[in-house]
Amino acid sequence: MCGIVGAIAERNITAILVEGLKRLEYRGYDSAGVAVFTNEGTLERRRRVGKVAELEQALAEQPLVGRLGIAHTRWATHGAPSERNAHPHFSGEQLAVVHNGIIENYEALREQLKGLGYVFTSDTDTEVIVHLLHHKLKTVTDLADALKAAVPELHGAYGLAVISASQPDRLLAARSGSPLVIGLGLGENFLASDQLALRQVTDRFIYLEEGDIAEIRRDSVAIWDEQGHPVQREQVQYHEGAEAADKGEYRHFMLKEIHEQPKVVQRTLEGRLGSDHVLVNAFGPRAAELFAKVRNVQIVACGTSYHAGMVARYWLEGLAGIPCQIEVASEFRYRKVVVQPDTLFVTISQSGETADTLAALRNAKELGYLTSLAICNVGTSSLVRESDLTLLTQAGPEIGVASTKAFTTQLVGLMLLTLSLGQVRGTLQAGVEAGLVDELRRLPTRLGEALAMDKVVEKVAELFAEKNHTLFLGRGAQYPVAMEGSLKLKEISYIHAEAYPAGELKHGPLALVDSDMPVVTVAPNNELVEKLKSNLQEVRARGGELIVFADRDAGIDNGEGTHVVNMPHIDDALAPILYTIPLQLLSYYVAVLKGTDVDQPRNLAKSVTVE
């Protein structure tokens, strides 16, 4: 989704801004732009539709040289992807703004500002911000004061960066609902919507909080909170290794991230397992006391994280006997919900910045839940900061838009939650926890075995290259795995994919099955496998082609129209984690065959910070 980079320095900052945008490319965008207060004393911009490389080309042809600038990658919401809608937006030749988020009252503001004589040159909601600020500067001279006067009139979500040709010694920022981080240098400072954009120039950061306004100068930073009081925000030193920055030996980030799963699952388990039990305080020092009161669980998430939550419902109810509900955040946040007493509210998110998930958490706080827990991959995210309890997944930065290692580490986190709640509540059957702790220790090795099937799956992918529709089937906890497999395929190969609980096949989707519609299924050797086999027969009888990832003892054999890929044995409870791997590989290789943009699929964004 949209990305922001800003810089104020004594050196030329254009290359820093462009490099920052490149580092944000993975988030998904459709146009890019940069505005610089040039050494000639003018405010100028370059904007291009398409990739940052196009912008770079424009800058090579017509360079911008200056010590103050802002830049943006835009993911269109209001107005089509076009050069005139790309940020930065200007008011006259004096002010430039870049914006992440959505201004909900932009139509009213636009009319008001038109009445004041402002001429709009884009279809965006953002342009109202820059003209509003320009209008405020007629009565308030200081840029920070003008921004403080303008933001109460903006309804919606925003992360903003502002520069002015008449006050070129400062870069202004405002945060409400869309993250911003200040990068601290020596005699130079930076701003971005994600610290990843600034790792090239610094490892020291200040995260702005909701409602903050910041004035960033070359050698100082001033921050005011929502009430306008000056505040000091904590400085954070970032220690993550450089491993996320490049693809290494892999052709795409997605493939690299798929192969990192044994390592990151291992990391997510580290320090969280005792000899035969889960260490409950992995969820925070108050976790045991709070978990003892939990009688229900409500999970809320979006996208892939939602699928992880769906698996967890099978675990929480099946292993720990704790009633669990799960809902997508965009529905939950606008619905009147009935809260059962003593319900733990769980959010799951890779980024911790997904607008709907955050809004759902904020609503939940008003609704009387027992406490909130975030299972999240970003320790500095809004979701983590606003939740009572946290379990950080240790997936490391995930660059591919299609989530892979974030999902499997979320599942590990959710298994730890299931065992912790069951342990504290005394609802687990004897031996279950110790057995699963052993299995969890072996999981990285099992995942490595599944990844070793890479070449086999690559071959299977050829069956899909010419197809337009596919069906994914699963039963029990494998149904959400099928959903995640179908999401992966549609996200990156643009092949229509639907997931169904295998038992529902005959209630509709069977009508679609023919030789042009491959049916993918996952079949661990569990008590549902015989039922699943009957469903597979129903497909074969209609000429459907089957691709089955099956335990070698499940009794499903290769045959005409049935392609079986044998999987390593695994405890059934952990099978959803293992069986996710071949489905990730399958979608990856199908996308490669189709020649799509695997890491940055069309129309999608990595971190969805607007609703």
Active site (catalytic) residues: 2, 606
How many whole angstroms separate alpha carbon 198 and alpha carbon 20? Answer: 6
In the DSSP assignment, the letter for residue 167 is S
In the complex, what is the shortest distance from the CB of residue 604 to ligand G6P, in angstroms, rounded to a whole number? Answer: 5
Q: Which residues are at the interface with ligand G6P (CB under 6 A)?
A: 302-305, 349-351, 354, 357, 401, 403, 604, 606-608
Task: Detail the DSSP E strand segments found in 151-295.
Answer: 156-164, 171-176, 181-184, 189-192, 204-207, 213-216, 221-224, 230-231, 235-237
The rounded distance, in Å, linking the Cα atoms of 189 and 175 is: 17
Query: For residue 158, which of 200, 198, 98, 109 has the smallest C-alpha distance?
Result: 98
Task: Give residue number: closest CB to ligand G6P.
Answer: 303
Between 215 and 356, whose beta carbon lies closer to ligand G6P? 356
Residue 296 β-bridge partners? 343
User: In this complex, which beta carbon is closest to ligand G6P, that of residue 19 or of residue 25?
Assistant: 25
Strand partners, 159: 100, 175
Residue-wise burial string across 314-351, b where 16 or more C-beta atoms lie within 10 A, e elsewhere: bbbeebbebebbbbbbbebbeeebeeeeebbbbbbbbb
- Shortest approach of ligand G6P to residue 393 CB, angstroms? 10
- In the bound state with ligand G6P, the residue whose beta carbon lies nearer, of 27 and 218, is 27
Identify any residues that bridge with 566 across adjacent strands, giving them in sequence order: 550
Is the Cβ of residue 378 or residue 523 nearer to ligand G6P in the bound state?
378
| CA–CA dist 96, 349 (Å, integer) | 33
| 480: preceding bond cis by omega (within 30 degrees) | no
Residues with Cβ within 8 Å of 392's Cβ and at least 6 positions away in sequence, in order, are: 376, 377, 379, 384
Which tokens in the block code for residue 154?
Answer: 């903006």
Cβ 305 to ligand G6P, closest distance in Å? Answer: 4
CA angle 358, 363, 368 (to 5 degrees): 130
Q: Which is nearer to ligand G6P, 357 or 478 (CB)?
A: 357
Nearer to ligand G6P by Cβ, of 170 and 405: the residue is 405
Residue 8 identity (one-letter amino acid): I
Helix (H, G, I), strand (E, B) or coil at 50: coil
Task: Provide, rounded to whole angstroms, the least separation between the CB of residue 287 and ligand G6P.
Answer: 22
Least separation, in Å, of the C-beta of 195 and ligand G6P? 16
* Spatial separation of the C-alpha atoms in residues 100 and 116, rounded to whole Å: 25
Q: Which is nearer to ligand G6P, 306 or 315 (CB)?
A: 306
- Choose between 149 and 604: whose C-beta lies nearer to ligand G6P: 604
Tell the smallest beta-carbon distance from residue 127 to ligand G6P (Å): 27
Name the DSSP class of 464.
G
Q: Kindly tell me which of 36 and 348 has the beta carbon lying closer to ligand G6P.
A: 348
Q: Which DSSP letter does residue 522 get?
A: E
* Cβ atoms 355, 610 nearer than 8 A: yes
Q: Residue 408 CB, nearest distance to ligand G6P (Å)? A: 13
**How far apart are CB 129 and ligand G6P at their closest, in Å?**
25
Neighbouring CB atoms inside 10 A of 429's CB total: 11
Identity of the residue, 38 or 305, whose beta carbon is nearer to ligand G6P in the bound complex: 305
Instruction: Give the nearer residue to ligand G6P in terms of CB position, either 384 or 436.
Output: 384
Using DSSP bridges, classify how beta strands 204-207 and 235-237 pair: parallel, antiparallel or unpaired.
Answer: antiparallel
Read off the tokens for 163: 């520069």
The Cα–Cα gap between 512 and 479 comes to: 19
Which two tokens mark 14? 């254009």
- Chain centroid to Cα 481, Å, comes to 18
DSSP conformational letter for 189: E
Q: Determine the Cα–Cα distance for residues 183 and 202; give it in Å rounded to an integer.
A: 6
Query: Cα 575 from chain centroid?
Result: 24
Q: How far is CA 246 from CA 238, 266, 597, in A?
A: 18, 21, 17
Q: Output the smallest distance, CB 404 to ligand G6P, in A.
A: 9
- Residue type at position 226: E
- Nearest distance in Å: CB 192, ligand G6P: 17
Tell the smallest beta-carbon distance from residue 306 to ligand G6P (Å).
7
